[in-house]
Each structure stands twice: as structure tokens, then as C-alpha cells.
Amino acid sequence: MKIDMSYGSGGKQTSHLINEVFLKHFNNRILSRMEDSAVLNVSGKIAYTTDSFVVTPMFFPGGNIGKLAVFGTVNDLSMMGAIPKYLTAGFIIEEGAELETIEKIAESMALAAKEANVKIVAGDTKVIEGNGGVYINTSGIGEVIKSGVSISNCRVGDVIILSGYLGEHHAAIMSKRMEIENNIVSDCAPLTSIVKKLIAEDINIHCMRDVTRGGLATVLNEVAANSQCKVEITEQALPISNEVRGFCDILGLDPLYMANEGKMIAVVPQSQADRALKAVRSSKYGKNAAIIGTIKEGSGVMMTTALKGSRRIDVLYGEGLPRIC
């Protein structure tokens, strides 16, 4: 069954969509009250964020737009040392979208919320003219359990841990768009367990950042600019799977600039580096973590290449498109 404009009218079709799709999957006591807003019990400092998701294709190896919408916001909260608690979900649906597609998205959002231990407590649906596209906005609240984590808080001597392989989400999406067959799967995942392990180990985390659009290069430049320091990384230390490396070689892409959806960096004191690395590696989504660099005095991001040359790493500008020659 296809969604038409009547599903956004606020009438019978709208309630069908809400009751039979969203409430069915997101069901929890707060949402099912169907009040105008959710009333929440929260204690202490909260982290609060929002993000919108417009990915095409909506379904890709390793996930879909719904899973991404939950984990994206969950990860943004986690990076501030918070335990994600509640999400809201707003859907903008273009007419022509299949009801079945919406249900699949809702189903995987529910699964993702369950894995990340968050509740979807409020939502909204709008139907607009178009061609079957679906866009999702999520916002989220988390309880801060580790304060002082900040992009401005890196200190000279700190080490940078990257939680796993680079570029998998980007490569999976591009493969699907370009109809290239391979085994690359998006890394779309919640980072909560890694953060919890680091906190449980009592690591003095100076900074955490999820490595999403713009890739590692952009995140490291943000670190350098905000903490007024120089970031030095080693090319050979970067965890990159052979498949993604091959994919990049063929298309002329650079894994440093490719998007990820389940990777983060943690900047920690040198003295706790080994313990922190062990903690990350013991987490479900951190098995391939590595120490990739250090914080130095100065500015910008420099990389020692495999040939032992030095290369300046700038932020991503424009789009990461395949070369033509």
C-alpha cells in the first residue's frame, strides 16, 4: 500500500500510520499515553541533541535510514559522556512511499532503540508531495555521567584511539549506489558500550567524537582547532579493512575523508592509553581499535605516511567523488 497525502491529514489514515506502525513498534508507557508531549524523569545534567537523516538509498548493506537515525543521535549523546535515555522521531514522508517500507524502517528503529537502551517517547509525521522518499529527524536526551569531555579539552601528550575500521559506511553506500558487488557492510552501530567501558575503567577521557560525515580528517582538524594543538597521526596505524582499501584504490577515494556511522575517537592521557585501548577493544564494536596518534604543541593535522614522508591533512571540502582520470 502506498502512502498518499491523506496519511498526513491528521485524520483516519494518519491514526492508522501512528497506531499500526509507529506505536506498534516503538511501544512504551510514555509514548502510548499519546499526550502532546512526553513528560520525563531526568536527574542531573542532561545532554540534548538533534540530527536529520536523508540518506539514499534508504536501505543498504548493514542498515537503513531508521537504524541510522537512532544510532546517529545515540552516538552524539554518548560522545558527551552521556547515557542516552529518550529519543523523539519526526518523519517527513513523500507521497508514493510504500507503507511496508515505513514499517520496515520503524521496525529497525525499534530494534536499534532496544540495543541502545533508549525509548522513543514522542514523534511526528508529515506527508509531502514527492516521489516516495523518507526523511527522519531524531532528537535525544541523555544523562551525563562523565563531565569534562570536550572537543576543547585535548592536552599535549594525549593519545588518540580510533575505535575501528574506517570508511565502511561510505563504501557500503557508494557500492549500493554504483551497483558494485562486494562484502562491505555499513558500520552503523551504537557507541554506548565503548563509552560505558571507558568510564567503568575510570579513564580520564579528555575528548570523544564520533567519526561521521567528513571522515577522520575533519574530526581531527576540529580537535586541533578547538583544543589549539597539533594532531599527529601515523598512516600505518590506521585500521582499514582490505576490502575498503581496495575499493578506495579503484575509485580514488581516501579513507580519511570517508563517512562512518559507528566509529569514534577517544583522546586520553598517555599514561592510561593501554588500559583505554584494552577497554575499547573489549567492547562489541571496538574490536579493531588502535592508537593512531598523539596530541602535540602547534596547530593542524600531520600524518607520517607509510613511506615516512609527512603529509598535511586538511578538512574535507566539496564531495568525495570518484575521479575521472
Partner 1 sequence: MTLQQVKDELLHYDGKPVKIMEVCGTHTASIFKNGIRSLLSPKIQLISGPGCPVCVTAPAYIDRLVEFALQEKCCVLTFGDMMKVKGNRMSLTEAKAVGGKVRILYSPLAALQIATEDRDTQYVFAAVGFETTTPIYALMLEEILKNNIQNLKLMTSIKTIIPALSYICENEKEIDAFLCPGHVSVITGSAVYEELAKKFQKPFVVSGFEGEHILAAVYEIIKQISNHRPGVKNMYASAVTEEGNQKAVALIQKYFEEADDYWRGIGKIEDSAMKLKTEYRKYDLGSSFEEVEEHLPKGCRCTDVILGRINPVECPLFQKVCSPFNAVGPCMVSTEGACGIWYKNCG
Residues at the contact surface with partner 1, assessed by CB under 8 A: 177-178, 252, 254, 303-312, 314, 317-319, 321-325
Least distance in Å: CB of 309 to partner 1? 2
Least distance in Å: CB of 217 to partner 1? 10
Nearer to partner 1, 199 or 251 (CB): 251
CA distances from 73 to 29, 140, 180, 217, 258 (A): 21, 6, 29, 21, 19
- Residue 53 β-bridge partners: 136
Nearer to partner 1, 11 or 322 (CB): 322
| Interatomic CA distance for residues 265 and 34, integer angstroms | 39
The alpha carbon of residue 80 and the mean position of all alpha carbons in its chain are separated, in whole angstroms, by 13
Nearer to partner 1, 42 or 54 (CB): 54
Residue 253 C-beta-side C-alpha neighbours within 13 Å: 27
Pick the closest to residue 163 from 2, 33, 281, 77 (CA basis): 281
Q: Helix (H) and strand (E) counts for the chain?
A: 10, 13
| Interatomic CA distance for residues 36 and 121, integer angstroms | 11
Nearer to partner 1, 29 or 323 (CB): 323
Least distance in Å: CB of 321 to partner 1? 3
Least distance in Å: CB of 306 to partner 1? 7
Strand (E) or helix (H) holding 92 = strand 82-94
Least distance in Å: CB of 250 to partner 1? 11
Q: How do strand 290-296 and strand 310-312 relate by DSSP bridges?
A: unpaired
Q: How many residues does the chain have?
A: 325
Nearer to partner 1, 66 or 320 (CB): 320
Least distance in Å: CB of 229 to partner 1? 18
Nearer to partner 1, 234 or 282 (CB): 234
